[in-house]
């Protein structure tokens, strides 16, 4: 298990701080839901991949969706992010029914799926990639003929974002030359340029080495300081360190939910993982 940092002011872990402190310093309501699903179900030609899932994601928390292979977590994630349409059920974002709303419209409302919506252009530099994302936010996408002076107005914010994700030293490096982990960090920067209220991360650590995993986990922790994150992640050490709440799926249904300590103390969860092989928190 990785070491968990403690906030020097409060003596609490980052997840504990997020539960009790708002970005403005006030006290948050722990039951303030940003996303809720009601009896969410997805069938594929008679096969039920997700069945009656009731998911509740609290504002300003990191909520992980895990499960053994074939659990339905990827399908559930695709339903919440609107890349799949549910067979039955309802999806709410900030109390509004988004069950039949398109992904682009959801992004404009503040719920953004990173690594999917964010575009990284390999021939553009790190700074240029983030600047293009900022243009998109302003409704000026792909206006490459605009004067350099006009585009440079976006530089200050772009540089803030690349500094925030730890790639400032690669400011003038083409994105295609970045390591895999730093490219993912750049993708988070382009997503943050859209100023989302909620980030949805689909296996953010997939394919990373140990150092990139550590760096990306720290980045997610920083990003979550004033946002909500829902993520599918197979690295259980990362899940343990980052998550406030974990939902475990098995065969398309919710098997358990709670803190990492609570779910790992659940015999059904242990059996589900051991039965699938302990590495079974991968795709599904």
User: The domain that contains 87 carries what CATH number?
Assistant: 3.40.50.300
Q: How many structural domains does the chain have?
A: 2
Average pLDDT over residues 211-227: 90
| Measured CA distances, 154 to 68, 125, 131, 141, 150 (Å) | 44, 14, 6, 13, 8
pLDDT of residue 50: 96
Q: Which pLDDT value is given to residue 272?
A: 85
User: Do 183 and 169 have their domain in common?
Assistant: yes
Of the three residues 160, 175, 193, the one that is the final residue of a domain is 193
Report pLDDT for 8: 36
With 0.85 as the threshold, say if the pTM is over it. no
pLDDT at res. 140: 53
Per-residue pLDDT at 279 exceeds 50: no
Higher pLDDT, residue 221 or 281? 221
Final residue before a domain boundary, out of 144, 159, 193? 193
According to DSSP, the β-strands at 56-58 and 62-66 are unpaired
Q: In Å, how far are 11, 112, 183, 193 from 164, measured between CA atoms?
A: 24, 18, 14, 11
Structure tokens at 47: 């096969």
* Residue with more model confidence, 232 or 117: 232
* Contact between residue 200 and residue 6 where contact means Cβ atoms under 8 Å apart: no
CB atoms within 10 A of CB 274: 11
Same structural domain, 178 and 79: no
Q: Are residues 61 and 129 in the same domain?
A: no
Q: Choose one of 168, 193, 218: the last residue of a domain.
A: 193
Listed as own residue / partner, the contacts of 150-158 with beta carbons closer than 8 Å and 24 or more positions apart are 155/127, 155/131, 157/193, 158/127, 158/130, 158/131, 158/134, 158/193
Per-residue confidence band for 278, with pLDDT thresholds at 50, 70 and 90: very low
Asked whether residue 111 falls in the same domain as residue 125, the answer is no
Residues 156 and 80 in one domain: no
Query: In the prediction, which pLDDT does 257 show?
Result: 95
Residues 89 and 212 in one domain: yes
5, 45: one domain: yes
Mean local confidence (pLDDT), 41-48:
93
For residue 127, what are the CA distances in angstroms to 120, 176, 260?
A: 11, 13, 38
2 has pLDDT over 60: no
What percent of the residues of the chain are helix, what percent strand, and what percent coil, each to the nearest 5? 40, 20, 40
Closest CA to 211 of 168, 179, 188, 163: 179
Contact between residue 26 and residue 229 where contact means Cβ atoms under 8 Å apart: no
**DSSP notation for 210-240:** HHHHHHHHHHHHHHGGGSEEEEE---HHHHH
In this structure, are residues 12 and 6 in contact, taking their beta carbons and an 8 Å threshold?
Answer: yes
Q: Which domain holds residue 66?
A: 1-117+197-284
At residue 146, the pLDDT reads 53
Say what the pLDDT of residue 13 is: 45
Per-residue model confidence as pLDDT tens digits over 239-258: 999 999 999 999 999 999 99
- Do residues 21 and 106 share a domain? yes
Q: Is the pLDDT of residue 28 over 80?
A: no
CA–CA dist 62, 35 (Å, integer) = 12
- Report the C-alpha gap between 197 and 181 in whole angstroms: 23
The verdict on 44 and 107 lying in the same domain is yes
């Amino acid at each position: 298990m990785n070491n968990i940092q403690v906030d020097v002011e409060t003596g609490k872990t980052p997840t504990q701080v997020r539960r009790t402190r708002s970005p403005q310093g006030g006290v948050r309501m722990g039951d303030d839901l940003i996303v809720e699903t009601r009896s969410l179900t997805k069938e594929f030609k008679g096969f039920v991949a997700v069945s009656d899932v009731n998911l509740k994601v609290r504002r300003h928390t990191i909520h992980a969706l895990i499960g053994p292979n074939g659990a339905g977590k990827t399908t559930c994630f695709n339903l919440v992010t609107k890349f799949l349409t549910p067979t039955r059920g309802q999806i709410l974002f900030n109390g509004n029914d988004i069950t039949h709303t398109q992904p682009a419209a959801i992004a404009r409302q503040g719920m953004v799926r990173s690594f999917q919506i964010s575009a990284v252009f390999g021939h553009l530099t790190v700074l240029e990639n983030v600047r293009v994302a900022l243009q998109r936010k302003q409704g000026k996408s792909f206006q490459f003929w605009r004067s350099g002076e006009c585009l440079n107005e976006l530089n200050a914010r772009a540089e803030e974002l690349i500094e925030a994700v730890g790639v400032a030293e690669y400011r003038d490096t083409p994105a295609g030359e970045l390591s895999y982990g730093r490219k993912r960090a750049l993708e988070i920067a382009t997503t943050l340029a859209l100023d989302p209220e909620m980030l949805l991360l689909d296996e953010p650590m997939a394919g990373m080495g140990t150092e990139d995993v550590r760096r990306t986990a720290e980045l997610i922790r920083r990003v979550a300081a004033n946002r909500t994150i829902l993520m599918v992640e197979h690295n259980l050490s990362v899940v343990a360190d980052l998550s406030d709440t974990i939902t475990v799926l098995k065969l398309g249904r919710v098997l358990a939910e709670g803190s990492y300590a609570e779910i790992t103390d659940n015999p059904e969860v242990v059996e589900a993982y051991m039965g699938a092989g302990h590495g079974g928190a991968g795709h599904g």
